[in-house]
Structure 1
Amino acid sequence: MLQDIVWLHACGIKVVLVHGGGPSINEWLTKFNIPVHFEQGLRVTDAQTLNVVRMVLCGQINQELVAMTEQLGGRAVGLSGMDDHMIHAHIADERLGFVGAVDTVDASLLERICDDGYIPIIAPLGLDENGQCLNINADVAASHIAGALRADRLIFLSNVRGICQPDGSLIPELNEQLAHELIEHGVISGGMLPKVNACLEALQDVPCVHIVDGRMAHVLLYEMLESQTVGTQFIR
């Protein structure tokens, strides 16, 4: 995936990467004997959990992605949504703890970084009006960042082919009505739920929104250069 990003960037396409860190966060929480809880695909984040989330996202994964991008010949800058007050958020639901719902995104720093020829790699954290760090779902953060940048395309990477029918067949195009029907019937659930909601929200500002299988070799090149999507495209 990072090689694709470096190649696309070399071709003059401005790429912004927003990453999560679920498996690594779970691993470290387990090491510290901190319970792991999710509600509707969102991590319940108390103060202890938030400290681990910040440590893993900013101190481990973000730096690793920057280093790997540089090794592949790219020029990357690692940052989080807290930098330059990029992501303004508020607590989404008191029951979820320090989980943020995005209010606004100031994309001016990202625009300068892209214009200077770098690839921004962003950890999904934000700040509330009091300067409190909030944990933001990576898909939600990506949706709002893409909208603020007026991006031409938003691609979500997953560990599945896309959105599938109950029989396992891939749905190549998905509109809001069908998405809500699949949610109501439990076909879309768990971690896929915030991803699909982020896709639907992104459609308000981004013309092309897709979910693709991040395990597929060169999936970003296929998605960017081929006329037919390899996953699920969201349409209005």
Structure 2
Amino acid sequence: LGAIATRVQAGRLAGADAIGVAVGKVINKHKMAKHLDVAITDTSLSVTRRTEQITAEAALDGIYVIRTSLPTATLDAPGTVHAYKNLARVERDFRSMKADDLDLRPIHHYLTDRVRAHVLICMLACYLSWHLRAALAPLTYTDEHPPTRDNPAAPATRSASAQHKTSRHLDTDGEPLRSFRGLLEHLATLARNTITLGGTTFDKITTPTATQRRAFDLIGAPIPLSLK
């Protein structure tokens, strides 16, 4: 704005409209209109800073406020911050549901009931994925026992056991750790083969790896001998 004021004083910029356009471009670019008092005439430009307001806002630079409608008895201040930080997990699940894993979109349905049914199935699948992530955590890099933070605003840290897993890249049985998606891809290699021998046809499951066996143990289900 100083350069514009110099042009006005030198007579190179005149007219309230022209001066206002020039000032508006600068103020809108830097989003500072709320901190300035601007007086414009055809031959003058006066800009005064709102010092008290600027000082008050500067004191809060880098600080944001989290507000909730819940009473303190239900959700206190640390709990509110913790709940806000957990939104990252919700966003991850929605991303997984919409694009990465469950393919909510595109929706090839047009009738209302079918669209709702499609979304419900995807949400149930997302809920199942949430349980699987927890149950299969010993086989992935997931922190099974994240440390409790006294200050919920402090950066999250991983537990000693999680750091140990990350450094070794092995689970407690000495088997390679995988990401959750990598583990699902490994489980997908467990297949059923239909074999015909001497006129007899039978099904046989491929020999499961140690990781595949443990995965089924963790979810409390036997490895299916057939897919019927």
TM-score between both structures, scaled by the size of structure 1: 0.19
Which has the larger share of helix? 2
Task: Specify the structure having the higher radius of gyration (Cα).
Answer: 2
Between 1 and 2, higher relative CO (CA 8 Å, sep ≥ 6) is seen in 1
**Higher strand proportion:** 1
